[in-house]
């Protein structure tokens, strides 16, 4: 029997295997008419795990999910998409995705018997029956507060301790900041820095001082501006923004350029020594 499914681009699926608890932690679906289809994100969220290098089919090996994407939607809920086709996944860890974003194509990799999507919903790390969520929203959060955590690296002191919200500021007044790392506990952020006497570096979305590619913004050189943009998850309304400032300059909201805002915090040519941010 066909039913609506917001995790397929076509929007209608056939369920080929039901949820069976620990014996089968999700449901298996194919496109209406028992065809293959693009897999799309169930809801807004942050990609927290990707497996994309599996090019084999290993039935009867439950330890092999094949190519897989896992998304954190906040409020303790995550979704997993298993057995995607090799070389079709087009998202990466740390990326914020909207509902309906194409993740990859239905496949037959890993512990799989024929092309299909194995779809899971997890609540606080435990698998629950995803059947009712095939075409429905995940439960919304009753806690609308968003916490932001951030730390900076200075020329003299290296990486300083993590700061939460506006409990303090990140920095050391006598030492220019060279690198910045930011994360939130709901939704996601993208951010970038401007090098003094140089240019803007690419946006990053992660929070890992050991990851030079996407874990923090900066390249070890003095920065003079920071830009942050906050993506509000679907279970929080009204929309929130990043409210931040550097040194003692006025607050900036996201990358807005209205009401005298510059679209970023800082002044070109003046080193950043203090950084402060909240999500409001």
From first to last of its 280 residues, the chain has per-residue pLDDT tens of 789 999 999 999 999 999 999 889 999 999 999 999 999 999 988 899 999 999 999 888 888 999 999 999 888 899 999 999 999 999 999 888 889 999 999 999 999 989 999 999 999 999 999 999 999 998 876 667 899 999 999 999 999 999 999 999 999 988 999 999 999 999 999 999 999 999 999 999 999 999 999 999 999 999 999 999 999 987 787 789 999 999 999 999 999 999 899 999 999 999 999 999 999 9
Q: How far is the C-alpha of 205 from the C-alpha of 35, rounded, in Å?
A: 35
Residue 234 is predicted with a pLDDT of 75
Among candidate residues 198, 193, 197, 195, the one with its CA nearest the CA of residue 182: 193
| Residue 61: CA count within 13 A, CB half-sphere | 12
Residues 6 or more apart whose CB falls under 8 angstroms from that of 109 comprise 54, 55, 56, 57, 66, 67, 83, 84, 85, 86
Q: Identify the residue whose tokens are 């990707």.
A: 50
Q: How far is the C-alpha of 140 from the C-alpha of 154, rounded, in Å?
A: 39
Element (H, E) at 189: strand 188-195
Residue 141 is predicted with a pLDDT of 60
Mean residue pLDDT of the chain comes to 94
Give yes or no for a contact between 39 and 104, defined as CB atoms under 8 angstroms apart.
yes
Residue 143 is predicted with a pLDDT of 66
Q: How far is the C-alpha of 73 from the C-alpha of 44, rounded, in Å?
A: 6
Q: How far is the C-alpha of 273 from the C-alpha of 6, rounded, in Å?
A: 46
Establish whether the linkage from the previous residue to 238 is cis, with ω within 30° of 0.
yes
Q: How far is the C-alpha of 44 from the C-alpha of 276, rounded, in Å?
A: 26
């Amino acid at each position: 029997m066909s039913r609506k499914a917001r995790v397929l681009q076509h929007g209608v699926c056939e369920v080929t295997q039901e949820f069976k608890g620990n014996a089968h932690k999700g449901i298996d679906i194919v496109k209406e008419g028992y065809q293959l289809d693009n897999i799309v994100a169930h809801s807004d969220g942050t990609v927290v795990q990707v497996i994309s290098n599996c090019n084999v089919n290993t039935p009867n090996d439950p330890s092999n999910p094949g190519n897989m994407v896992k998304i954190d939607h906040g409020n303790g809920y995550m979704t997993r998409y298993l057995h995607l086709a090799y070389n079709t996944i087009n998202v990466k860890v740390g990326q914020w995705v909207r509902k309906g974003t194409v993740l990859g194509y239905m496949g037959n990799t890993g512990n799989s018997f024929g092309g299909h999507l194995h779809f899971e919903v997890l609540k606080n790390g435990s698998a629950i029956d995803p059947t009712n969520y095939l075409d429905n929203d995940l439960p919304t959060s009753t806690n609308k507060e968003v916490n932001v955590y951030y730390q900076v690296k200075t020329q003299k002191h290296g990486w300083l301790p993590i700061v939460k919200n506006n409990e303090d500021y990140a920095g050391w007044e006598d030492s220019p900041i060279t690198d910045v790392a930011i994360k939130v506990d709901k939704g996601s952020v993208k951010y970038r820095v401007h090098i003094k006497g140089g240019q803007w570096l690419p946006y990053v979305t992660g929070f890992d001082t050991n990851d030079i590619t996407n874990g923090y913004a900066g390249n070890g050189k003095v920065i003079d501006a920071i830009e942050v943009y906050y993506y509000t998850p679907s279970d929080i309304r009204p929309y929130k923004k990043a409210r931040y400032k550097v040194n003692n300059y006025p607050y900036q909201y996201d990358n807005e350029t209205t009401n005298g805002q510059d679209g970023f915090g800082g002044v070109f040519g003046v080193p950043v020594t203090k950084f402060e941010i909240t999500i409001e």
